[in-house]
Amino acid sequence: MVEQLPDLIIAPNFTQLRLGDFASYGRSAQMLAYARTSPSRNPFYEIIPIFIEGNSMEIQRKESSPRYKRDNIESFLLVSKMTANSENMSITLFEIEPGGIQHIHSHKPEQMHYIIEGFRIMTVDNEEKEVTAGDCIFFPSNSKHGLKNTGKKVLKYSSACSPSFTKKQCEELWPLESLDEQDKNRN
């Protein structure tokens, strides 16, 4: 039984769906559902089940991701063992205010940064280079690396590491609740 609300569906075992939305059962769903208008029951909506064998696609939003905030940097953990049960990769989104610094550090996973927006000085193993939007920087396992936002606006970049950080490392490195949880707790 589906209850109709303005452009919104509430169905048993599903969260709220808008027309065209997909929803899944559980973290590694075996079944998805698709919301659409019903040609036979117009103007009502219907839920169309789509069965999937194996693992399903995971979608993680910046606002619902664990995060950290320090030194004018905010990092969102999008894909990891903790957020998507990823064994082989961690993906983060960084937003760094002008003057923000990611101090020199190293870790076992090899890593890449893709600059989405902004300008910065990137340091890898004592070599410094200016990088900007559209640049992709790779550095091997255990390389000492860091950066400084030398531009006048927020620097945004995505980072991928392989293999994935452990669940314990994720919990330690991204200890803050998501923006969604933060908003919910304020109300």
120-144 confidence digits (pLDDT tens)? 899 999 999 999 999 999 999 999 9
What is the reported pLDDT for 25? 38
What is the reported pLDDT for 90? 92
Q: Which amino acid is at 186?
A: R
What is the reported pLDDT for 56? 59
User: Going along the chain, which residue ranges are E strands?
Assistant: 3-5, 8-10, 17-18, 22-24, 31-37, 45-51, 67-70, 73-79, 90-96, 101-105, 110-117, 119-124, 127-132, 136-139, 145-149, 155-162
What is the reported pLDDT for 2? 41
The domain locations on the chain are 3-51, 62-186
111-125 confidence digits (pLDDT tens)? 999 999 998 899 999
Compute how many other C-beta atoms are within 10 angstroms of the C-beta atom of residue 139. Answer: 18
What is the reported pLDDT for 66? 93
What is the reported pLDDT for 153? 93
Residues of the chain with pLDDT under 50: 1-39, 41-54
Q: How many helices (H) and strands (E) does the chain have?
A: 2, 16
The CATH code that applies to domain 62-186 is 2.60.120.10
> In whole angstroms, what is the distance from residue 53 CA to residue 127 CA?
47
Compute how many other C-beta atoms are within 10 angstroms of the C-beta atom of residue 102. Answer: 23
What is the reported pLDDT for 121? 92
What is the reported pLDDT for 57? 67
